[in-house]
Amino acid sequence: MGWLETSTENRTVQRTPNLVGEKWSLLLVRDAMNGVRSFDDFRRHIGLSEAVLADRLRTLVAAGILETVAYREPGSRPRHEYRPTPEGWDLRPAMIALKQRGDRCTADPGGPPLEVRHAGGGSLRAVIVCDEDHGPLTPQQARTRPGPSARPRVRPAPPRSDRPAWRAGGSGVGCAVVLGGQSAAGTSEGMVVRSGGRGPGDGAPAAC
């Protein structure tokens, strides 16, 4: 099977953006990776309404990207903080790649607003390597092929050919649509569409 012959229904690249591809969810994951933990800090830093924030955090927790950890400050009611799970940290290379592209293409003239560096001093960057330690690889050095769960694409059914064709021109103009009751010509119940010209049925109604 080639690329166009495989189904997109179970593509993992498609499923992941369904969880984090929405703007606010992506920013919440970014903030969680940078140490933001409390509901109030997420709200203040990103500028979300409480309802939207609660919904996005609930979705990320249900997807296993964030987890809740109970805590209680002295004199306050119990609360929860939000931390990335191991599955959430799996998104770290993608976040670095997005930042890398943004720094290169969309940063202000003065440079990027933030830097992510190794504790030893070097800047982090996302590169493509293979599991045999070849890399960094260029796009021309990579090949995509069907995996073990690839499915053939289901081709759409051909269009029906039993519908009356609309004809351009003719002596009439426009369409008359009758929704139940009586038309001026005495047509009874049902939905009838009359074409502007004379069709194969000598002007007979065409069923929708």
d(CA 208, CA 198): 17
pLDDT (0 to 100) of residue 37: 96
Q: 177: domain range?
A: 170-208
Q: Are the C-beta atoms of 64 and 82 separated by less than 8 Å?
A: no
Give the pTM: 0.66
27 and 117 both lie in a single domain: yes
CATH number at residue 69: 1.10.10.10
Give the pLDDT confidence score for residue 64 in this predicted structure.
Answer: 95
Q: Is residue 77 part of a domain?
A: yes
**Which of residues 122, 138, 156 is at a domain's end?**
122
* Residue ranges in the chain whose pLDDT is less than 50: 170-208
Report the number of distinct structural domains present in the chain: 2
Examine the domain organization and report whether 51 and 107 are in the same domain. yes
Q: Does 48 fall in a domain?
A: yes
- Do 110 and 186 share a domain, yes or no? no
In the beta sheet, which residues pair with residue 19? Answer: none
pLDDT recorded at residue 164: 59
Query: Looking at 90, 122, 154, which one is the last position of a domain?
Result: 122
Determine, yes or no, domain membership for 150.
no
Do both 112 and 45 map to the same domain? Answer: yes
The Cα–Cα gap between 57 and 19 comes to 11
CA dihedral 127, 130, 133, 135 (to 10 degrees): -40
113 with 180, same domain: the answer is no
- 196 in a domain, yes or no? yes
56 Cβ neighbours under 8 A, 6+ residues apart: 22, 24, 25, 28, 48
For 188-200, how does the pLDDT look when each residue is reduced to its tens digit (9 = 90+)?
Answer: 444 444 444 444 4
Q: Could you give the CA distance from residue 120 to residue 51 in angstroms, rounded to a whole number?
A: 41
Specify the pLDDT at position 96: 94
> What's the pLDDT score for residue 47?
93
Residues 200 and 115 in one domain: no
